[in-house]
Amino acid sequence: MSRSRKLLITDKLMRLLLVGAASTSVLVVCLIFLFLFREAGPFALNPGLGKLMDSQWIPVSFQEEHFGVGPLLSGSALVTALAMLVTVPISVLVSIYIAEIAHPTEREFLKPFIEILASIPSVVLGFFGLLVVAPLIKTIFGLSTGLTALTGALLLSLMAIPTIISLSEDALVSVPYALKNASLALGASHLQTIFRVTLPAALPGIVAAVMLGIGRVIGETMAVLMVTGNSAILTFSPLSSVRTMTATIAAEMGEVPFGSVHYQALFWIGIILLGITFFLNIVAQRVLKKYGMMK
Amino acid sequence: MMNNSTEKLILFALRLITYAIVLVIGYILFDIIRNGAPALNWQFISGFPRRSGAAGGIFPAIVGTLSLVVGTIAVSLPLGIGGAIYLAEYAEQNKFNTLIRLAIVTLAGVPSIVFGLFGLGIFVLFCGFGPSILAGSLTLACMVLPTIIVASEESLRAVPKGFRDASLALGATKWEMIRTNILPYSMSGMITGSILGIGRAAGETAPILLTVAAFYLPRLPNSIFDQVMALPYHLYILATQHPEADKIRHMQYGTALVLLLLVLGLSLGAILIRTHFRKKFRW
């Protein structure tokens, strides 16, 4: 075989291998959907999906088991909403400071330092929450236990803050200089330019950042498992103990018999979680694309 | 119209919020280090746990986590880098490639516990690996795949276009061009970017909860089909499930500190390597 022929064959072969490697992502996504539905499937026939609409989650009982996802959904929603209430204003203000106000050397320190927060394992944050944040909440509000939705929300906001800061900062930095300069030339002050020109121009990017942050927060498991107290009740009080969808899967999956109704119900929770994050992701990408903020 | 002093006040408030966050991060690190450092000693790091982790060391958990990291790298690095090379060098704008990009974005958003369920369904049960290093590594590999692809693609795109044109103009095939003119300059960036992602995976608990982690297993694994203890899961158990949780705070803090050092050490190492190579390759 001639050398050039060999080269051409290698070339074709490598291309094929690389396409294969790139297709793995598609394959994995398909397999995730396939296997979640495979494991959860039989539940739809017996006892039927209507069981998920139950108002209670009592998966183990001597009388009748209840698999109502409602209390878990409300738990996740409450914790996520509280976390976002704390996270969004802080992250946006901090990203404004880092992108527009901080001195370049200051920025060189602030950015990697806040990145550290993103790499602290969630179980370590959960542990910190258990020993430091929960007692604090307990004393401040005079509760019998510090394991509340609020405690979980505060920890989750610690996790979402670096994500949202870094994405909104990207959005702020990518606002064209011409816009800022035009505003300054018209006599607007530095702050006026930031709040009336730069921020509105970067808004789609910030909205997308927030949505991706919500996706992360809803899917977070360990920290909420450790500090929210885990009682599956339907409530909207920040100071009560709640149980999220993720925590339910993590806490109960270890103890259920494989293939049981309870096991299948837990996979349905996984499907609901996947659906929510998938939706948030797609919408965030749409927003970024529509406003031409895609890199 | 805002007057000058209000403006100064608002600027000050923004600075205050920013540094409050810095302070909180600093305090978390300080708290873990201050309480964890006294527990660190040779016996703690190299010893085996006794009394379900209430005494002794955490050596099996360290080995478990490291073997998961190695397994995850072995699976995800070739796949991720290969995928990134395809996306950066070959892919045109067509339906198939849009689908690949959509899949990567979707994968990046899947919650870690859902990866755990997926790994349980496919690797542990369907493939019959049981709870094992193999099943856990494969699950974590699926999870870090998007991070690796994104980081590697960025590193590939940083190589100037002239490198490609010069090589192709001399008659190289596309793969020759990539092998000789692109990979040598982007490999370091791809690997460091990937390590950053994998370091984060090393601290994850939810995916390994259902696929590898053993509650208490004071021995070392013999093969990739063995269950292992892992640092994040060990910390979770000690802090919340252990009957003497209140009395073994030093063990918990020690484990948290070792885990933190491992994860931050991986990240820091990757960042240092990256700055080194950035200085070396400059165009």
Query: What's the whole-number average pLDDT of chain A?
Result: 83
* B283-to-B85, B181, B182 alpha-carbon distances in Å: 21, 14, 14
SS3 state of residue B171: coil
Give yes or no for A79 touching B (CB within 8 A): no
pTM: 0.88
Please write the tens of the pLDDT for every residue from B196-228: 888 878 888 888 888 887 777 777 777 777 888
Q: Do A67 and A139 fall into the same domain?
A: yes
Is the CB of B118 less than 8 angstroms away from the CB of A226? no
Interface of A with B in 118-157 (CB under 8 A): 118-128, 130-132
A26: chain B residues, CB-CB within 8 Å: 99-100, 103
Above 50 in pLDDT, residue B20? yes
B263: chain A residues, CB-CB within 8 Å: 119-121
Structure confidence at residue A55 as a pLDDT band (50, 70, 90) = low
Could you tell me if residue A148 is inside a domain? Answer: yes
Give yes or no for B17 touching A (CB within 8 A): yes
B229 and B216 in contact (C-beta within 8 Å)? Answer: yes
Could you tell me if residue A78 is inside a domain? Answer: yes
Interface of A with B in 203-222 (CB under 8 A): 212, 215, 218-222
Mutate to test the interface with B, among A5, A28, A100 (most CBs of B within 10 A): A28
Find the CB nearest B103 among A25, A124, A266: A25
> What's the CA gap between A181 and A185, in Å, rounded?
6
Q: Do A33 and A139 fall into the same domain?
A: no
Query: Looking at this predicted complex, what is its ipTM?
Result: 0.88
Q: Do A104 and A37 fall into the same domain?
A: no
Interface of B with A in 123-182 (CB under 8 A): 125-126, 142, 145-146, 149, 173-176, 178
Q: Do A121 and A250 fall into the same domain?
A: yes
What local confidence, expressed as pLDDT, does residue B266 receive? 85
Q: Do A103 and A33 fall into the same domain?
A: no
What local confidence, expressed as pLDDT, does residue A144 receive? 77
Mutate to test the interface with A, among B21, B98, B190 (most CBs of A within 10 A): B21
Domain spanning B40-280, CATH architecture: Orthogonal Bundle (1.10)
Higher pLDDT, A65 or A248: A248
Query: What percent of chain B has pLDDT above 90?
Result: 19
Find the CB nearest B18 among A24, A94, A278: A94
Higher pLDDT, B240 or A53: B240
Mean pLDDT value of segment B262-273: 83
Could you tell me if residue A295 is inside a domain? Answer: no
Is the CB of A131 less than 8 angstroms away from the CB of B111? no
Is the CB of A250 less than 8 angstroms away from the CB of B116? yes
Please write the tens of the pLDDT for every residue from B143-202: 999 989 988 988 888 888 888 888 889 888 888 888 888 888 888 888 888 888 888 788
Dump strand ranges (E) for B72-200: none
Single-letter code of the amino acid located at A172: L
Above 90 in pLDDT, residue B27? yes
Give yes or no for A163 touching B (CB within 8 A): no
Query: What's the whole-number average pLDDT of chain B?
Result: 85
A14: chain B residues, CB-CB within 8 Å: 175, 178
Q: Do A96 and A23 fall into the same domain?
A: no
Is the CB of A189 less than 8 angstroms away from the CB of B2? yes
> What's the CA gap between A213 and A216, in Å, rounded?
5
What local confidence, expressed as pLDDT, does residue A295 receive? 45
Q: Do A93 and A167 fall into the same domain?
A: yes
Radius of gyration, CA atoms only, chain A: 24
Please write the tens of the pLDDT for every residue from B73-126: 999 999 999 999 998 888 888 888 888 888 998 898 889 899 999 998 888 888
Query: What percent of chain A has pLDDT above 90?
Result: 13
Number of residues in chain A = 295
Q: Which domain holds residue A31?
A: 3-45
B174 and B89 in contact (C-beta within 8 Å)? Answer: yes
Higher pLDDT, A28 or A6: A28
SS3 state of residue A67: strand
> What's the CA gap between B221 and B210, in Å, rounded?
18
Structure confidence at residue A192 as a pLDDT band (50, 70, 90) = confident
> Residue A192 maps to which CATH number?
1.10.3720.10
Number of domains in chain A: 2
Q: Would you kindly state where each structural domain of chain B is located, as residue ranges?
A: 4-38, 40-280
**B267 to chain A: closest CA residue:** A119
Is the CB of B105 less than 8 angstroms away from the CB of A285? yes
State the smallest CA–CA distance between residue B35 and chain A in angstroms.
11
B240: chain A residues, CB-CB within 8 Å: 130, 225-226
Residue given tokens 């790091």 in the structure block: B45
Q: Do A242 and A109 fall into the same domain?
A: yes
> What's the CA gap between B20 and A168, in Å, rounded?
19
Mutate to test the interface with A, among B35, B75, B117 (most CBs of A within 10 A): B117
Could you tell me if residue A262 is inside a domain? Answer: yes
What is the CB neighbour count within 10 angstroms for residue B39?
20
Is the CB of B18 less than 8 angstroms away from the CB of A7? no
3-class SS letters over A122-175: HHHHHHHHHHHHHHHHHHHHCCCCCCCHHHHHHHHHHHHHHHHHHHHHHHHHCC
A69 and A269 in contact (C-beta within 8 Å)? Answer: yes
Structure confidence at residue B2 as a pLDDT band (50, 70, 90) = low
What local confidence, expressed as pLDDT, does residue A1 receive? 57
B117: chain A residues, CB-CB within 8 Å: 36, 39, 249, 253, 266-267, 270
What local confidence, expressed as pLDDT, does residue B282 receive? 63
What local confidence, expressed as pLDDT, does residue A61 receive? 67
Find the CB nearest B11 among A22, A112, A191: A191
